Amino acid sequence: NVPEDQADKLLLANWGLPKVVLEKYHSLGVVQMFEWQAECLMLGQVLEGRNLVYSAPTSAGKTLVAELLILKRVLETRKKALLILPFVSVAKEKKCYLQ
């Protein structure tokens, strides 16, 4: 569980994302994360580029964790990222979404 003193980490607004990114998530109804998602992002040095392996059922929110990690790293390091998706239809959807 997320420690009580870090409960504010459940809110997307507290992760240092640009306003335009937050507005997009908010327009989709995504204002906060589940506890397990915040836990993933707070593990070790994940936000500094260390590896993370996690597993969750379909539609549990795995993509949000990946997106936040990618966005943070791209914005902070000004480097490119590679996002591999399982289907062309999903890749097209994500391309439009991330643009």
pLDDT digit string (tens) for 86-96?
A: 889 988 988 88
- Domain count across the chain: 1
Q: Structural domain of residue 51, as residue ranges?
A: 4-98
For residues 95 and 40, give the distance between their C-alpha atoms in angstroms, rounded to a whole number.
24
Per-residue pLDDT tens digits of the chain, which is 99 residues long: 666 777 788 999 998 899 998 999 999 899 999 989 998 998 888 888 888 898 888 888 998 999 998 888 888 889 888 888 888 998 898 888 777
Report, in this order, helix, strand and coil percent for the chain, each rounded to 5: 60, 0, 40
Residue 1 confidence (pLDDT): 63
pLDDT digits (tens, 9 = 90+) for 12-27: 999 889 999 899 999 9
Residue 44 confidence (pLDDT): 81
Residue 34 confidence (pLDDT): 92
The CATH number that applies at residue 68 is: 3.40.50.300
Contact at 8 Å (CB) between 67 and 42?
A: no
